[in-house]
Structure 1
Amino acid sequence: MSERLTAPWGTRIDRSHKIQFSFDRQSVHGFAGDTIASAMAGEDRWILSRSFKYHRPRGILTMAGQDANTLVQLPDEPNVRADLRPIAEGIEVIAQNVTGTADNDHKAVLDKLGRFLPVGFYYRSFFRPYRSSWLKLWEPIIRKASGLGKVDLHAVKGDYTRENLHTDVLVVGAGPAGLSAAIKAAEAGADVLLVDPNPELGGSLTYARFAPDREEADEALAALREKAAQLKNLRIFTDATCNGWFADNWLPVLHGNCLYRVRANQVVIAAGSHGQPLIFRNNDLPGIMLASAAQRLMRHYAVAPGKQAIVFAGNRDGYLAALDLIDAGVQLAAVLDPSGVPSCAASAQRLADHGVRIVTNCKVIETLGTAGNRHVRAVRFEAPGTGTQILPCDAFVIAAGYTPSYQLPLQAGAKLGYDEEGSQFVLSNVPETMHLAGSAAGYFELRAVLRSGEIAGARAAAGAGYTISEPEAIADAFARGMNPFWDIGSHPRGRDFVDFDEDLQVKDIKNAIADGYSELELVKRYSTVGMGPSQGRHSALATARIVADMTSRKVADVGITTSRPPFGPEKLGLLAGPQHTPYRHTPMHAEHVADRAKLTPTGNWWRPLYYQGKGSIAETIAREVNLVRNGVGMLDVSTLGKLAIRGPDAAIFLDRIYTMAHAKQPVGRVRYCLMLNDMGSIIDDGVAYRVSETEFYVTATTGAVARVFSQMLFLNAQWGMRVDIQNVTSAFAAINVTGPRARHVLEALGGDIDLSAEAFPYLHGRVGMIGGYPAHVMRIGFTGELSYELHVPQSYGLALWRRLKEVGDVHGLEPYGLEASRILRLEKGHIIIGQDTDAISSPAELGMEWALSRTKERFLGKTAVEARNNLGLKRKLCGFELPKDHGIRLAESCLILHDGQPSGFVTSTAYSPTLGKWIGLAYAHPEQAAPGGTMLLRGLCGTEVNARVIAAPFYDPENKRQEI
């Protein structure tokens, strides 16, 4: 490990804790608190990646995650920003966009072939149809060379969460302005949320000088942190990014693996500014970095950017960074100032006292690199009276100006203008609920920055309804000189990069304009400028200036391209939400597990598919089917949707919702109910048990109950009927006891309900006590056998299940699973919503006209049903059976063919243990659907077989067994 700077340099590292990891399979050492980039720089290794197009070496530019130079690959994550990601023991880091390694990239030869890759060559090479074969040849090559990271499809899933947050004031940025704003608003009594992407509070105060002496910045940082810690109503998120602005101050905040959906009354933007690169030949060499990046390396990580540096001081911050370099022991070959008079006289004098050469009125022409352009070794510049000079260096530190962090304000509707005199972008027309502070608002002197934050915080608190006086603004003496004007001319030999992400040079932008793309949005799409990971942060200003110059316009007229969310990268896991699969258990779940049930998900519920025993799965399911047909079984149907409909208009309400007549349904009767949508398509079914004149107990399918409930609420909000609707699905457990001996089992339970056939006939319901538990009991026939559904409060569900097993043991009672239930209903020809129906299934297609009341004036979907009936049928659901030894693999969705063309598909099919043959339901052409005919089925392997069409139900067509 190279020698680091001594304390107080290195505020973020723990020198007592060393960490080892690898980069391109070579060992690297760092300290706890180091990032990948700072650890590499600490070992004098500066190449982190290769450029997108020419595969030029690239290194640290911002040390703030605002550029693509530091994107690297981790085993389980691509496109990791090396200047932000902390190191960890043993992590394996790989450079992206390389063939070989970052130090030795075999595709570096592309840097010498640039003239064959002009701007827009993709468009000109591949846009014509007759070149499709040319495109097919080059497309995979171009995609492979795209430079993107690789996704590990086998990586462990992340644990992602979402939370909703409401706050009076959201402050974006915890630098001096943001801290001042948050403190001011919180002191007024507002609830404040402060968000910053750094691991600590303070922003530029943690690394930069604001004056020749650091004391002022250090004292301000300590005071702000102390005040912030004392405020209970100030919530702080570090390592968090506000990633966009949406309507009504809805802002997503990314904090680790949590997406906070923040709704703020007022927003303060104190997100600072983005330093701008200088444009000259070879301005992308490793060792060339922004002044803020050099200061971050030294102050945070105790890494000197080089041994001998040159500073381009286009503004005050260049001189201040030069003082930091002197304090860190770095030799300064020169400070290059493009102006005639140093922009910071006090700092210039202090540098002169150290013997530092200051060159004014200079222009940087190019930098010279070591072999393979692996690092900067010298700077060539010119100045009046001295001509062209070359000075050796191993670090070129640049302070060339700023653009405000304009993304969030522009997304909120603000306008970005250009101050021609100050050569800088300025924000205007900011919404009333948004306030700017700090350098985002054009303030750079520390006192003015702090006061701008206080003003913004006061205005935000007042906007949120709190009483507070607004401080007076302080004039900023440095604001006008932070963005020097420098000529952007293209170097005859190129490699003067405007956009590092896309390897775009000055000549590329100029050529795009010469090709006819004079509007900035078109220049962007033709050249791809600003379309890389940096999203124009470092190229927007220079591009706008080039376009303005070539089209004889002002930069304000050219503007910038549209700023859209997100502000920075966000993981797909955060967008997808929590990766946990929601699940629900019935009250009898533990009993199912104890009985070795094979569980399967049904919606959010886990239900027994079958109960494992001796023999194969098919034998087990057949045994359960025979259990119901010949004895008695019980099924946990607690997952059924359950709705309590009460009120004077309950019957009339159901009459409108469902297709059958419920207004005149007698008390104590159970009636099938079918629900349609406005298109006349079936969306759900169930039964309605009339408990009293004003109360119905209605069941719905497991998957559709939420939709049915919301539809009922929505419609009643329009109709205004006197009815109360409650979803009581979770309040009740339900058990279906079915089979020829079902009555014997229930009678053994005891209770006050007369279970005789005369007192309790088919399609009736009773309320009373059974087995010592209060219950709603309904006689229905989904299995086609004598059946009782017992609905009890869910707290009694498990006890009733165990009690049934106890008293039913002498009658051979056993539980059966979902697969047996599906076969039992299929033998009776009963449909399952969502399996035998789709989005357009009508009652006529399913042969369910019997479920439509002919006496009601209206019900939901009636008009559509009548209209569809007038159009005739194009398909019909019918039953079929396969011949013995058919030799076909059949499943749901297998095709039905008519005259050689698909005419329908199988919706349900299974082997019937009761009938000893394969049966099923399928949509077919109406000509095929008549019982007695045949239809052609195509199996899973393409084998075709003729199936005989038969009328459902397949079993007990006279329905005698369910009515005993």
Structure 2
Amino acid sequence: MPDTQRLPAPWGSRIDRARQLDFRFDGRSFSGHPGDTVASALVAQGRWVLSRSFKYHRPRGPMTFAGTDANTLVQIGPEPNVRADLRALEPGMEVSAQNTSHSAERDLNSLLGLFGRFMPVGFYYRSFFGPGKNSWLKLWEPIIRKSAGLGQIDPGQPPASYARRNLACDVLVVGAGPAGMAAATSAAAAGAEVVLVEADPETGGALTYGRNGQQALAQARAALEASGVRVLTGATCNGWYADNFLPVLQGSTLWRLRAAQVILATGTQDQPLVFRNNDLPGIVTASGVQRLMRHHAVRPGRRAVVVAGTPHGVDAAEDLAEAGVAIAAVLIPPEASLPAELRARLTGRGLRVLTEAHVTEARGKRHLSGLVAESPEGRETFECDLAVIDAGATPGYQLALHAGAKLGFDDARQSFTLSNLPEGLRLAGSVAGHHTPASVVRSGEIAGAEAARALGHEAPALSSLPDPEAAWHRTYPVPAASKAGRDFVDFDEDLQVKDIANAVADGYRELELVKRYSTVGMGPSQGRHSALATARIVARETGRQVGDIGITTARPPFGPEKLGLLAGPLREPYRLTAMHDWHRKAGAAMVAAGNWWRPLHYAGKAADPQAAIADEVRLVREGAGMLDVSTLGKLAVRGPDAGAFLDRIYTMAHAAQPVGRVRYCLMLNDMGSVIDDGVAWRMAGDDFYVTATTGAVDRVFTEMSLLNTQWRMQVDIQNVTSAFAAINLTGPKARAVLERLGGDIAVGAADFGFLEGRSGSIGGHPVRIMRIGFSGEVSYELHTPRSHGLALWQALLEAGAAVGLRPYGLEASRILRLEKGHIIIGQDTDALTTPEELDMGWALSKKKPYFLGKPALDKRREIGLTRRLCRFVLPVEAGRAVGESSLVLRQGQPVGFVTSVARSPTLGQVIGLAYAHPEDAVAGGTIRLRDRKGVERAAKVVAHAFYDPDNKRQEV
């Protein structure tokens, strides 16, 4: 289709007229230019209806051309809910309308508008909920669910590419309009490191589309470029969080930004007028029509009516006249207080100006065809295909409210105010109540200088410039409900004036309750155009002032954000042990464990996995097995204070730990909750080799490093996890395997006792060996440089062939540890678990005055236990349906849950760990479990270990 509505240069600062981009919308072919948005390209070819409304399926078109309304939400390929007035046009785009039964132009569901009287505000609460109405709910729920929702997702789409980046600065400025650019330049001139964030694809804000702004724009950009400020365009600051942490969304990148000082130059949001049929396509805001013309060279209509409530409306009328759009009339509302010289500019162009005029109705079906207005000259209908609304604006208050600012309303000036700003946060420009060009820029300069001074930089003291009174500030009241209806307050939810009034009449006098009852402000626009109008109606209906009503709470996020962007890079990192390829060739079923791939079992494709796992358990109990434990975290803690440092980190005593001994170590957080465990081998007086769990080692290393920067002890901490491969050789015949392999380490019981460590070589490979007993059998944990890992693995298999040595997998290892009653951090613990709840008081040093988490643990001990982890057994048949997370009941009420459960091949029973009431979690007692079929089972509680409770097998 040709560009029937394009304006000649110099209109169209963002488009490249020399190139054409073809795309499709609702099955029809269209074209545009680079620099167009989807919406501007469609409007340029006369297509205004982009969507249908949520409830009544009324035709909707662009209103703001700034992405702050939901009228332009479309589907682009597999991506739903795309704002067509923001999305840049790309060649070959497949665009379609959402929430339609056929197309945006002809939507069969528009018949729903005829039944509006049967869908009053809150009808779903009254119709579908309550005694005896279940049959109604069953009838209507599927129909409502089918009609609800907007776009469609495609679960089969390949993962997109997302990135996370961290950024810190002295001063963050949000909004690169004239105030934001002035603030950033001012702060940078004083020596501050500044980042400027702008949602538009270019800096300048209103200067890029306002009248006579080009010279000021060029000067501001030149100063900004010379200042060295880092500028992020096409980036949305999506929230303010504690300590000036602000996430910034820029395309497929999430910037996690931390700033010492924040300046919000977030501008204002134009407000619509409320009158009958005020949602028709062709009714746009003043700034929206200026964006359409100056950015995209689109003539928005042939004949227009302009409502000029502030000087911005006068500017828009003059722009339209210069673009060749006939002006039927300029309507100045009764409340407006425009200076005489502004009115003279309009009459000087020969435009008809009606003062004390207000719009009562718009006419048209799929597009505006006329506007009805009343003035002292009488009631008049103006033929037009464009209505430009300048009814004042509300400040971009969302980020300020996230930070704890207070939003008030000045009834005299009929405008919002922001106060109670937290320390380190400043406002600049129109969001702070400045509107004239000079005062906007000066407010930015002041904010930038103040932010720099707060950081210790020298900056000049500047005085603010006053704004002319009232003309720039006022917003306009909402008329009484039209008898014919269709006077929309919230375009997202199709809510009319009568709906808000009726919500109050139904007893909901407070705004938060009106919101939940009517759903006003709960749509994609999040109240940007309905909050003020709703507050006005509630105030009128309850006899209060707007300032007494306020608005509903603004919470992050500021705008839409993709879940993928929050999740970060979808390319999951993975790590492989030195023996990974051997495992795959041996038929191992591999499973992810944290970032590592580990063998789950060695059943192969044809064998029964459960039978293979049971066989691997018996292998360890009766002969010898070996497990690849290279994924274990490994930390080198060295230095004169190494022992004292570990004393502070872990609950047991390590400062006096003998050289050559291995000691269990348990780590708590500041809350006294268990977060990791492992062992610490004192290799020398100033050298400890510490292990941590696979999933927690990075956290442990980070925590140790952070604490040492505070404690400043003489200790060096190194994460050597990747440097070593590790093999656990276990079973009654494990010692025989090592003796066959040979080396310079004596492995006999008399030479190498339980919980001891040795360094040397085995079979010609350098090793560090610890005797520890996770499986409950004689066990040797061999750590060797990664380059030796595969060779040592194969050497052990060759040496152990005579005694039947084979590898076993992760699932058998879990069953082996469960038979010994050992816990797994993260599976048998949660964020609140204390050592006492695990019955691990033995792991807490009674002599140390301090260890990490001890103060909190002492306080929590005073509260007493409400649960305790216990060991239970069940017959195989009774325990078949008991699974992890099955509830533990006491007198019919849940008191805990199962954390680990398995069928033990060694014991022939179902065994498990569960949290239960402390009075029930005692050996010999009984706990009641609800299995996955809803059947309650009585389980016997046993002592610490199901298997070899005296630990005689592992210590021989």
For the superposition of Structure 1 and Structure 2, which TM-score range results when normalised by the shorter chain? 0.7 to 0.9
1: CA distance, partners of 2:926 / 2:238: 62
Match of 2:101 in 1: 99
Which range is displaced more, 744-753 or 256-265?
744-753
Please, which runs of 5 or more residues in structure 2 have no aligned partner? none
- Answer yes or no: is 1:84 the counterpart of 2:75: no
Q: Does 1:792 align with 2:784?
A: yes
Aligned residues: 945
Q: Deviations over 1:216-245 (max 9, x none)?
A: x1111122222322333x111111112222
* Secondary structure of 1:378 counterpart: strand
> Which region of structure 1 is more displaced relative to structure 2, 468-477 or 899-908?
899-908
Q: Any idea what SS the aligned residue of 2:426 has?
A: strand
Q: How many Å apart are 1:377 and its aligned residue?
A: 0.7
CA distance change for structure 1 residues 597 and 290 in 2, over 3 Å: closer, same or farther?
Answer: same
Q: 1:252 aligns with which of 224, 247, 250?
A: 247
Structure whose alpha-carbon radius of gyration is higher: 1
Q: Residues 425-470 of structure 1: CA distance to partner in whole angstroms, max 9, x if unpaired?
A: 2334444533322222333332332233222222222223221213
- Equivalent pair of 2:869/2:921 in contact (CA under 8 Å): no
Partner residue, 2:767: 775
Q: Which residue of 2 aligns with 1:754?
A: 746
The 3-state SS of whatever aligns with 2:759 is strand
- With 542-551 and 162-171 compared, the bigger mean Cα shift is at 542-551
In the alignment, is the contact (CA less than 8 A) between 2:588 and 2:604 conserved in 1? no
Give 1:638's aligned residue: 630
Partner amino acid, structure 2, of 1:225? R
* Corresponding letter in the other structure for 1:605: W
**Deviation at residue 190 of structure 1 after TM alignment:** 1.2
For residues 720-731 of structure 1, what are the structure 2 equivalents within 5 Å? Answer: 729-730=721-722
Q: Structure 1 346/725 Cα, relative in aligned 2: closer, same or farther at 3 Å?
A: closer
Question: What is the CA-CA distance between 1:420 and the residue it aligns to?
Answer: 4.0
Mapped to 2, the partners of 1:712 and 1:677 lie a distance apart of 11
Query: Per the alignment, in what secondary structure is the counterpart of residue 13 of structure 2?
Result: coil
> What SS class does the counterpart of residue 747 from structure 2 fall into?
coil
3-state DSSP class of the match of 2:121? Answer: coil
Q: Establish whether residue 275 from structure 1 lines up as the match of residue 270 from structure 2.
A: yes
**Matched residue, 2:221:** 225
User: Residues 392 and 412 (structure 1 numbering): CA distance in 2 closer, same or farther, change over 3 Å?
Assistant: same
1:435 aligns with 2:431: no
Query: Does the residue aligned with 2:471 lie in a helix, a strand or coil?
Result: helix
Kindly state the Cα deviation for residue 98 of structure 1 after the two structures are TM-superposed.
2.8
1:273–1:616 distance in 2 versus 1, CA, 3 Å? same
Distance 2:928 2:492 in 1: 60
Call closer, same or farther: CA 1:750–1:573 in 2, change over 3 Å: same
More off after superposition, 284-293 vs 444-453: 444-453
Aligned-pair identity in percent equals 57
The answer for the alignment partner of 1:469 in structure 2 is 460
1:524 aligns with 2:518: no
Structure 1 residues 505 and 791: alpha-carbon distance in aligned structure 2, compared to 1, 3 A threshold: same
Question: Which of 872, 877, 881 is the aligned partner of 2:871?
Answer: 877
Between the aligned partners of 1:488 and 1:892, the Cα distance in structure 2 is 61
1:121-270 correspondence to structure 2 within 5 Å: 121-125=123-127, 128-209=130-211, 214=212, 217-232=213-228, 234-270=229-265
SS of 1:201's partner is coil
Partner of 2:485: 494
SS in 2 for 1:480: coil
CA distance in 2 between partners of 1:559 and 1:157 (Å): 43
Structure 2 counterpart of 1:538, one-letter code:
H
Query: Equivalences for 1:838-857 in 2 at 5 Å?
Result: none
Q: How does 1:855-874 map to 2 (within 5 A)?
A: none
Quote the residue 2:292 is aligned against: 297
CA distance in 2, matches of 1:774, 1:524: 70
Which residue does the alignment assign to 1:110?
112
1:287 aligns with 2:278: no
Q: Distance in 1 between matches of 2:519 and 2:867?
A: 54
Distance 1:648 1:311 in 2: 80
Q: Which residue of 2 aligns with 1:322?
A: 317
Q: Which moved more, 1:534-543 or 1:64-73?
A: 534-543
- Matches of 2:153 and 2:500, distance apart in 1: 33
Alignment of 1:267-666 (within 5 A): 267-338=262-333, 343=338, 351-352=346-347, 354-369=349-364, 373-384=365-376, 386-477=377-468, 480-481=471-472, 483=474, 488-589=479-580, 591-593=582-584, 597-611=588-602, 616=607, 618=609, 634-642=626-634
Q: How does 1:904-919 map to 2 (within 5 A)?
A: 907-909=900-902, 912=905
Does 119-128 or 832-841 show the bigger shift? 832-841
Taking the aligned partners of 2:245 and 2:826, their CA distance within structure 1 comes to: 40
Report Cα offsets for 1:732-758 as digits up to 9, x if no partner: 432223467655654566543233454
Q: CA deviation at 1:784?
A: 6.1
Contact 1:13 1:32 in 2 (8 A): yes
Where structure 1 has 5 or more consecutive residues not aligned to the other structure, the ranges are: none
Tell me the alpha carbon deviations over residues 709-747 of structure 1, each in whole angstroms, 9 at most, x when there is no partner.
Answer: 899999999999999987664554322234676556545
> Cα–Cα, structure 1 residues 680 and 292, in superposed 2: closer, same or farther, change >3 Å?
closer
Instruction: Classify 1:416/1:824 alpha carbon distance in 2 versus 1 (closer, same or farther; 3 Å).
Output: closer
TM-score (norm. length: structure 2): 0.83
Contact 1:782 1:830 in 2 (8 A): no
Q: Is the 8 A contact 1:179 1:453 kept in 2?
A: yes
CA distance in 2, matches of 1:664, 1:412: 50
How far 1:602 moved relative to its partner? 2.1
Q: Normalising to structure 1: TM-score of the pair?
A: 0.82
**Residue 809 of structure 2: which of 817, 827, 830 is its match?**
817
Give, as a single letter, the amino acid of the residue that structure 1 aligns with 2:216.
Answer: A
Q: CA deviation at 1:392?
A: 1.0
Residues of 1 paired with 2:891 and 2:373: CA distance? 83
**Post-superposition offset of 1:286:** 0.8
Whether the 8 Å CA contact 1:340–1:360 is kept in 2: the answer is no
Aligned AA for 2:240? Answer: W
Q: Please, which moves more after superposition, 302-311 or 847-856?
A: 847-856
RMSD: 5.1
- Distance of aligned partners of 1:494 and 1:646 in 2 relative to their CA distance in 1, 3 Å threshold: same
Q: What's the CA shift for 1:197?
A: 1.0
- Whole-Å separation in 2 of the counterparts to 1:427 and 1:654: 51
Aligned AA (1:262): L
Q: Which string of whole-angstrom CA distances, capped at 9 and with x for unpartnered residues, describes residues 118-162 of structure 1?
A: 334445545644545444544444444445434444443343333
Q: Note closer, same or farther for the CA distance 1:254–1:841 as it changes in structure 2 (3 Å cut).
A: closer
SS in 1 for 2:20: strand
1:194 Cα offset (Å)? 0.9
Higher deviation after alignment, 328-337 or 797-806: 797-806
> What is the CA-CA distance between 1:52 and the residue it aligns to?
2.8
C-alpha spacing 1:562/1:784, structure 2 compared with 1 (3 Å): closer
Query: Which segment is superposed worse, 917-926 or 774-783?
Result: 917-926
SS in structure 1 at match of 2:19: strand
Distance 1:55 1:930, change over 3 A: closer
Q: 1:583 to 1:428 in 2, by over 3 A?
A: same
Please name the residue that 2:729 is paired with.
Answer: 737
Q: Give the partner amino acid of 2:262.
A: V
Aligned residue in 2 for 1:52: 54
CA distance in 2, matches of 1:105, 1:490: 27
- C-alpha change, 1:918 and 1:75, in structure 2 (3 Å) is farther
Whole-angstrom distance in 2 between the partners of 1:178 and 1:843: 53
Kindly indicate whether the alpha-carbon contact (under 8 Å) linking 1:5 and 1:328 is maintained by their aligned counterparts in 2.
yes
920-929 vs 476-485, which deviates more?
Answer: 920-929
